[in-house]
Amino acid sequence: MKESDAEQILNQAGAVITNSHIVYTSFKHGTVYIDKDAVYPDTEATSALCHAIAERFEDSNVEAVVAPEKGGIILSQWVAFHLSQMTKRKVLAFYAEKTDDGSFNFVIKRRSAQVKLPGKNVLVVEDILTTGGSARKVIEVTRALGAIVVGLGVICNRGGVKREDVADVPRLEALLNVQLDAWNETDCLLCKDGVPINTDVGKGREFLAGQRQQT
């Protein structure tokens, strides 16, 4: 799949939001948001994107796919399915959950994963990379179980994330690479200009709630 094809799928799903005041998962601010949740209801579009990720790693002897919850669960299932079809081998799908302490770390809780992942060649998948923080943590917990992470496959790398930013993963493959600005709250011109924060997507609601608690 060409980058233009991936971009077209996202645009057709209404997943690309521009000219808005967005708070990203990293709590940095920006003007553009890629709403992967707009894609997931369209199973044909989701399957096409996941098939393209699977193609990138068809020759990597992937035995299992791991993704962060929640949207990543959909990606892990579809990518594992397509890899199974391509390689004629069963490829398993797992997901990492956020910890309960509010630290935004991840843990792989399921006993089936803890039993089956050690020693396996694992592909980690993610929807959008902004800083790569979530993907890095999933890669780290996957390795901690004794799995061999062969690569990271993503729909869109919108933060210029490099391999060294995500725990030196051997391969980083993105269907779409978009370099967009992201600012800390203190440097955000939109905040300084009083532009309302979008609370429909991203972490806008959480950001505003945190501000209210501080006042």
CATH code of 3-214, in short, is 3.40.50.2020
Alpha helices of 57-132 — where are they, by DSSP H? 71-87, 111-116
Cβ contact 173:155 at 8 Å? no
Q: In the block, which residue shows the tokens 């493959």?
A: 173
Query: In the predicted model, is pLDDT for residue 15 greater than 70?
Result: yes
Q: How far apart are the first and last CA of the chain?
A: 49
Q: What is the pLDDT of residues 175-202, one digit of tens each?
A: 999 877 788 999 999 999 999 999 988 8
Query: In the predicted model, is pLDDT for residue 104 greater than 60?
Result: no
- Strand order in 106-107's β-sheet? 106-107, 92-98, 64-68, 121-129, 148-157, 172-177
Q: What does pTM read for this prediction?
A: 0.83
**Domain chopping of the chain, boundaries:** 3-214
What's the pLDDT band for 98 if we cut at 50, 70, 90?
confident
